[in-house]
């Protein structure tokens, strides 16, 4: 099915539907209209496909090479093709890099979008475009000082749209917020306010444990005590909370509730997992010792990528709808392979990615969570088709690959085709706006529904169109 990124796949309610709502006594104020539109759009676009309960977004910071992972070109010249061979997958006709054997075995559960593209060639603006679905406001420039986030991230938008569900935390990020020079402003809620920013779960590699960064405090100072201290300080100072402070307080209160929940406490305690599960994610037996820093540190550090995905699955089980996993400068390695591309991909990057992604998909499936959980895995861009003088590949936003699984995805599907060098989309190009629209649509949200910024200006949830043909 041809994809038209200019045409909305989510029509709003019909005139008949609006009149029916009026007849039934529905209040047609702006929030009411937006809710009605969202419900009508979701119902119209996904008949028989229930909305997802959760999304796990895996971000391979730096940009994996599409040619050396999921879009190889074995017939291209050597200076394009590179050093790696290809292998067959569980889906006839789909071949992937030889260093992806585990992903190849679960290809029937994956979908490949091989025509992602945008115009940003630097990490910060490309990441902003990826996670907000909007071009970076500063243009194609890196950031060297902190700036406020404008548009909300995927998770921030979902958190805001789920605000009436009173979830303790709707959006979590682990094991840290990513940055180039400064923290990249695309990971929070932007103009929707700090109440919808992510709940940050950090990691202590030495101890082999995760912690809620937001709630870090001296030993013996629990949430209730901190809340009392904060309220007392406000009273002594005699100051009224500003709207910003009130929003932050709501955020903190939700975090306190989440951390106090038995389910989340268990989610962060990965040592509860069976040895077989830990091994499948690439976590060795030695890393199970949560208390022995000297023993656990080397083993844990080498397998952070797998461990992070295991925690993401556990957070989804604990009821967190949106989890971001930042695959960023772990063990000194990221995907920005300007030099020694093949060595970096072969020895450090592809194996843990292959093991972790395939383990996550199989684990979700075995637990009955795959159909209700959408997995989205990609970088901010791809790599240049032509190999440079340092045996590396440079930034390439013109055509790269995203991997989807679960959430109703038709396993074994390929959306779009790149040209013979994986340099440009040959058919069905997909923008970050289309990917954002797809995620929202699968949550049962109409991408055309409006949200308003601090100045009251309306914005669509996403300016793109869902990739509906990939589902069902």
The predicted-structure confidence for 10-24, as pLDDT tens digits, reads as follows: 333 333 333 333 333
Average pLDDT for residues 159-172, to the nearest whole number? 89
Q: Is the pLDDT of residue 2 over 90?
A: no
Amino acid 250: pLDDT:
62
CA angle 170, 175, 178 (to 5 degrees): 95
Listed in order, strand segments (DSSP E) in 205-297 are 209-212
**pLDDT tens readout for residues 220-268:** 545 555 456 556 545 555 555 555 566 656 656 665 665 556 677 778 8
Percent share of the chain, pLDDT over 70: 72
Position 202 scores a pLDDT of 83
CB burial of residue 289 (10 Å; 0-12, 13-18, 19+): middle
- Residue with tokens 């209040």, as numbered in its chain: 27
The pLDDT of residue 105 is 98
Average pLDDT, the chain: 82
Q: Is the pLDDT of residue 347 over 70?
A: yes
Question: Residue 209: is its pLDDT beyond 90?
Answer: no
Instruction: Compare 279 and 295 and report the one with higher pLDDT.
Output: 279
Minimal CA–CA distance to 167: which of 234, 242, 253? 253
Which stretches of 220-343 are assigned E, i.e. beta strand? 322-327
Spatial contact of 20 and 14, defined as CB atoms under 8 Å apart:
no
Q: Using N-to-C axis directions, what is the helix angle for 432-442 and 30-45, rounded to 10°? A: 90
> Which pLDDT score is estimated for 56?
98
What does the pLDDT average to over 172-194? Answer: 93
The two beta strands, 54-60 and 382-383, are unpaired
Q: How is residue 345 annotated by DSSP? A: I
36-50, 164-178, 290-304, 420-434: segment of lowest average pLDDT = 290-304
Give, to the nearest 10 degrees, the angle between helix 30-45 and helix 15-23.
130
Model confidence at 96: pLDDT above 70: yes
The residue that leads in pLDDT, 20 or 372, is: 372
pLDDT score at 83: 97
Query: Residue 446: its pLDDT value, please?
Result: 97
CB 427 within 8 A of CB 115: yes
Residue 256 confidence (pLDDT) = 61
Give the phi and the psi of residue 195 in degrees, each rounded to 5.
Answer: -60, -20
pLDDT tens, position by position, 284-339: 544 443 332 233 333 344 567 888 999 999 999 989 999 999 987 644 568 999 99
Among candidate residues 324, 327, 321, 273, the one with its CA nearest the CA of residue 303: 327
**Is residue 424 scored above 70 in pLDDT?**
yes
Q: What is the mean pLDDT of residues 51-72?
A: 97
Ordered domains of the chain (ranges, CATH) = 46-430 (3.40.720)
> Is residue 451 pLDDT above 90, yes or no?
yes
**Residue 468 has which token pair?**
């509906």
Q: Please determine, for residue 390, whether its predicted confidence score (pLDDT) is greater than 90.
A: yes
């Amino acid at each position: 099915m041809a994809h038209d990124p200019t045409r909305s796949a989510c029509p709003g309610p019909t005139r008949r539907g609006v009149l029916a709502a009026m007849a039934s006594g529905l209040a047609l104020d702006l929030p009411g209209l937006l809710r009605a539109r969202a419900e009508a759009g979701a119902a119209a676009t996904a008949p028989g496909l229930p909305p997802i309960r959760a999304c796990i977004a895996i971000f391979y910071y730096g940009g994996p090479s599409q040619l050396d992972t999921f879009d190889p070109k074995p017939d291209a010249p050597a200076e394009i093709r590179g050093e790696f061979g290809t292998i067959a997958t569980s889906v006839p006709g789909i071949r992937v890099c030889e260093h992806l054997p585990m992903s190849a075995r679960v290809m029937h559960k994956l979908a490949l979008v091989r025509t992602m593209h945008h115009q940003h060639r630097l990490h910060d603006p490309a990441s902003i475009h990826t996670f907000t679905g909007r071009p970076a406001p500063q243009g194609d420039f890196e950031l060297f000082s902190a700036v406020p986030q404008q548009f909300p991230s995927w998770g921030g938008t979902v958190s805001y749209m789920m605000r009436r569900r009173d979830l303790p935390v709707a959006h979590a990020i682990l094991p840290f917020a990513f940055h180039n020079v400064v923290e990249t402003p695309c990971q929070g809620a932007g103009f929707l306010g700090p109440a919808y920013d992510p709940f940050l779960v950090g990691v202590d590699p030495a101890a082999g444990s995760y912690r809620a960064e937001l709630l870090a405090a001296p030993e013996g100072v629990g949430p209730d005590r901190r809340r009392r201290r904060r309220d007392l300080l406000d009273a002594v100072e005699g100051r009224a909370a500003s709207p910003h402070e009130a929003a932050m307080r709501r955020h903190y209160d939700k975090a306190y509730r989440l951390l106090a929940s038995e389910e989340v406490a268990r989610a962060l305690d990965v040592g509860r997992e069976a040895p077989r599960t830990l091994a499948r994610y690439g976590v060795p037996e030695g890393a199970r010792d949560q208390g022995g820093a000297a023993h656990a540190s080397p083993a844990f550090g080498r397998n952070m990528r797998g461990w992070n995905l295991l925690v993401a699955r556990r957070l989804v089980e604990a009821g967190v709808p949106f989890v971001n996993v930042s695959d960023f400068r772990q063990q000194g390695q990221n995907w920005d392979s300007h030099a020694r591309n093949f060595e970096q991909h072969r020895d450090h990057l592809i194996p843990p990615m292959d093991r972790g992604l395939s383990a996550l998909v199989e684990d979700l499936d075995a637990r009955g969570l795959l159909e209700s959980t959408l997995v989205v895995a990609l970088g901010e861009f791809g790599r240049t088709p032509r190999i440079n003088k340092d045996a590396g590949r440079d930034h390439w936003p013109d055509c790269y690959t995203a991997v989807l699984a679960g959430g109703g995805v038709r396993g074994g599907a390929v959306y779009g085709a790149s040209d013979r060098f994986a340099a440009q989309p040959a058919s069905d190009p997909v923008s970050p706006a289309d990917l954002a629209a797809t995620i929202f649509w699968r949550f049962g949200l109409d991408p055309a529904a409006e949200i308003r910024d601090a100045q009251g200006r309306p914005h669509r949830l996403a300016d793109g169109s869902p990739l509906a043909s990939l589902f069902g």
